Amino acid sequence: MKALYSQLNSLVPHQNSRVSNPPSEPVLSLPDQLNEAASYIKRLQTNLEKMKEKKDSLMGVERTNHASMTSCNGTTTGLRPPQIEVREMGSTLEVVLITGLDSQFMFNETIRVLHEEGAEIINASFSVVEDTVFHTIHSKVEDSAPSNGAARISQRLKKFVQDDCAF
């Protein structure tokens, strides 16, 4: 037990750890060492939770009860189902993606689909109004058969949004 206590104590940073083992530093009693270890673990847990919340906020993820999410057929709750509109203007595509704050990943997936289809992203922007995010993406489709490429891209993007709504 003494070896385990010693190992635990060695893993916990101490208040006076800047100076290595000064002679005037009192040796903590066993209960004090355990209290210090418990306090340290609680601080780590609190810091971990804060970091998770910060990560989620930076990634656009909102921690909510998944049972309260809106389904894409428009039933209940406060989260917006995604909508997409694709406009073709010659060899240029304008993609307007409207999501709630809970669906930020859809923008990344939309960009991925455009890249896979060979579209060059010209401009991408977004605006947030209350709980709605409006993404606008302008892209140029390759010159070879732009209408077929645009139609294919439009179909893939709409299918992606519909498939997301199925979950």
Q: What integer is the mean pLDDT of 33-61? A: 85
Out of 3.20.10.10, 3.30.70.60, 3.20.20.30, 3.30.70.260, select the CATH number for domain 83-165: 3.30.70.260
Tell me the mean pLDDT in the region 85-95: 86
Q: Does residue 117 register a pLDDT over 80?
A: yes
- The Cα–Cα gap between 136 and 140 comes to 14
pLDDT at 116 over 90: no
DSSP, res 139: E
Cα distance between residue 160 and residue 166, in whole Å = 10
Mean pLDDT of all residues in the chain?
76
- Is 32's pLDDT higher than 70? yes
Q: How far apart are CA 111 and CA 127, in angstroms?
A: 17
User: Is residue 76 pLDDT above 70, yes or no?
Assistant: no
Gap between the Cα atoms of 37 and 40, Å rounded: 5
Closest CA relative to residue 71, chosen from 79, 60, 63: 79
User: How far is C-alpha 84 from the chain's CA centre?
Assistant: 21
Q: Report which of residues 124 and 141 the model is more confident about.
A: 124
